[in-house]
Amino acid sequence: MEKEKLHKLFEGIASSKEKKEVRVWLEASEENRKTLLREREFFDAMILLDHKDTNLDSLKKKQTKLAIILTRVAAIVAIVLLAGSLWYTKKMSEQLEQYQAAINTISVPAGQRANIQLADGTNVWLNARSKITYPSFFTETTRKVELDGEAYFEVKHNPERPFIVQTSRHTIEVSGTSFNVDAYSASPNFETALMDGSVLVTSLKSLQQIKLSPGYKALDNNGTLLSSEIKDYDIYRWKEGLICFKNQNFIDLMKRFEKCYGIRITIENKQLENKVFSGKFRISDGVDKALRIMQREGQYTFERNKDEDVVLIK
């Protein structure tokens, strides 16, 4: 990292791009954090020295460039020996905490999805009506985010700093892997599906834990965590903007539509209760188009209420 960028950050004149570069560099290793602290000590010592030496211009005329450098180094050593490094460490720790305190929240509207990249390189896809809260960068021993909704994570591997997803009723801990989390706070359903690597799922209420292997998912059954094999991977293609279903019960499918589009669907046609459907729709096409296409096989009619937030299927 160029010292000029660090000094601009200390002076408060760094650009947004430069701040981001420093944060990414700082996140990369513990050694970089130590380097930042040492550079801050040097920067503060220079400020003290420059304020003390009011005749610096005349001194430059009389001394060689090497002598000036040696004088400054001697002053820095003296200051550090007198004041110690604790004060500087404390100040930098406070500054790092302020940086970490910069919390970001992203909410995705109904019928849409979003893709973000966290400071550690982790890639996150957010499904419709989902919200994620995360710090601008991670400075502690763990990487932690909060999720309300559904997200697909591709976590940057770092065994020394676990990645934790906090939901309303469970936590998911990994070091680096790909997995899907379905955890809307307004729904009793919960699912974590593992694609590769390993995850540890913990119930906040019972403290029960399940460690998953690739190809398995964890489900919450009335407060008890259970694991089962993933039979259909197409349902996780929502991150591609698709709703995929194969031999799915109509009622369960309508629950997926409700979650995706933020509406309520009331089914009056009893003949649909045991009927199953297979298909694939683009989320962006909307629920009305999906229902019209399925009408050919389902033999039903549907209409919306005046507020457009309830769909009645007859």
- pLDDT of 10 reads 63
Q: What's the rounded mean pLDDT across residues 189-209?
A: 93
As given in the structure block, the two tokens for residue 19 are: 């701040």
Q: Is the pLDDT of residue 118 over 70?
A: yes
Largest CA distance in the chain: 99
- pLDDT of 51 reads 45
Lowest mean pLDDT among 113-117, 163-167, 191-195, 258-262: 258-262
Lowest mean pLDDT among 48-62, 81-95, 111-125, 232-246: 48-62
Cβ proximity of 277 and 270 under 8 Å: no
What is the average pLDDT score of the chain? 80
Q: How far apart are CA 274 and CA 119, in angstroms?
A: 47
Measuring CA to CA, which residue among 4, 7, 23, 14 is closest to residue 99? 23
Q: What's the rounded mean pLDDT across residues 135-143?
A: 80
103-229 fold: Jelly Rolls (2.60.120)
- pLDDT of 202 reads 95
Q: For 241-313, CATH number?
A: 3.55.50.30
Confidence of residue 41 (pLDDT cuts 50, 70, 90): low
- pLDDT of 58 reads 47
Same fold, 103-229 and 241-313: no
Q: How far apart are CA 298 and CA 31, in angstroms?
A: 63
Three-class secondary structure of residue 92 per DSSP? helix
DSSP 155: P
Q: Which position has the token pair 């109509």?
A: 250
pLDDT top residue among 27 and 143: 143
Domains of the chain by residue range: 3-100, 103-229, 241-313
Cα-Cα-Cα-Cα dihedral of 196, 198, 200, 201, to 10°? 20
